[in-house]
């Protein structure tokens, strides 16, 4: 039995993963953005180990999420599932960051720094990461004209890169990126063609399985198969440059990265 924390687990892939893990006998800690969102999954949360609440667009609330998780105890795995897709505008978080960057990248980075280190880390990315720009000059979209699709693609390039950076620097942790495919969730839309079940079963498998195939690190996964990611994801120079930019933007530096 494993203890797993899943961000963004009130609907879509996160909720499906939580329900699967609970049905398998694992202890799951759920996450909701608000108390209203939490109320919508009362039936599932009643069978979970715990439920934490906080908005990942806010660094202060992200800190609270980490504190709530740590108060429950050390996790065996953390699945960084939460994400947002095509935002109509850059938006601005309480700290002044672009909302897409804050939720999809800065929040997972901060949670990784603040939550007691688990045995396994899973970060959800997307095949769209291959369209992400490798320049780190304006990752917070303060000078460029807003482009929602490009911002999303870049965020998914960065999160896949963070996963491989952690795999390189933390040999005692299994850190992987998962592309769930274009699946029919609220984010993906009802007409999305990919397999919803395989989309969430890959992350639950990586979080808990003792199969030799699942106990690897630094992989980019799609439907339980390793795929080749964009070149930047495996580039140690790009990894370290990205981690440096995230440290600058958040004011939080991982001492072991």
Q: Active-site residue 156, yes or no?
A: yes
Given the residues 85, 109, 123, 152, the one annotated as active site: 152
| Catalytic residue from among 109, 156, 158, 222 | 156
Helix axis angle for 196-208 and 12-23, nearest 10°, is: 50
How many Å apart are CA 237 and CA 202, to the nearest integer?
28
Residues present in the chain in total: 257
Query: How many whole angstroms separate alpha carbon 58 and alpha carbon 48?
Result: 25
Nearest to 124 by CA among 230, 238, 222, 22: 222
From residue 177, alpha-carbon distances to 20, 66, 80, 167, 249 in Å are 19, 21, 9, 10, 22
Residue whose C-alpha is closest to residue 41's, from 76, 89, 92, 6:
6
Residue 44 CB neighbour total at 10 angstroms: 17
Catalytic center residues: 152, 156
């Amino acid at each position: 039995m494993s203890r797993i924390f899943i961000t963004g687990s009130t609907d879509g892939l996160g909720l499906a993963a939580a329900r699967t893990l609970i049905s398998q006998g694992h202890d799951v800690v759920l996450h909701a953005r608000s108390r209203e969102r939490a109320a919508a999954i009362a039936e599932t949360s009643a069978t979970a180990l715990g439920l934490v609440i906080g908005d990942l667009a806010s660094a202060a609330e992200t800190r609270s999420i980490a504190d709530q998780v740590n108060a429950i105890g050390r996790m065996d795995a953390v699945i960084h599932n939460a994400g947002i897709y095509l935002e109509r505008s850059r938006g601005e978080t309480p700290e002044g960051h672009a909302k897409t960057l804050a939720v999809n990248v800065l929040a997972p980075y901060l949670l990784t720094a603040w939550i007691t280190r688990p045995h396994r880390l899973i970060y959800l990315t997307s095949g769209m990461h291959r369209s992400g720009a490798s320049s780190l000059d304006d990752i917070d979209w303060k000078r460029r004209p807003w482009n929602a699709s490009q911002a999303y693609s870049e965020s998914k390039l960065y999160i896949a890169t963070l996963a491989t950076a952690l795999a390189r620097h933390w040999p005692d942790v299994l850190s992987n990126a998962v592309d769930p495919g274009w699946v029919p969730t609220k984010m993906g839309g009802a007409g999305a063609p990919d397999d919803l079940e395989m989309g969430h079963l890959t992350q639950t498998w990586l979080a808990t399985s003792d199969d030799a195939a699942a106990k690897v690190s630094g992989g980019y996964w799609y439907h339980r198969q390793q795929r080749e990611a964009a070149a930047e994801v495996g580039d140690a120079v790009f990894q370290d440059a990205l981690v440096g930019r995230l440290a600058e933007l958040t004011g939080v530096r991982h001492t072991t990265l």
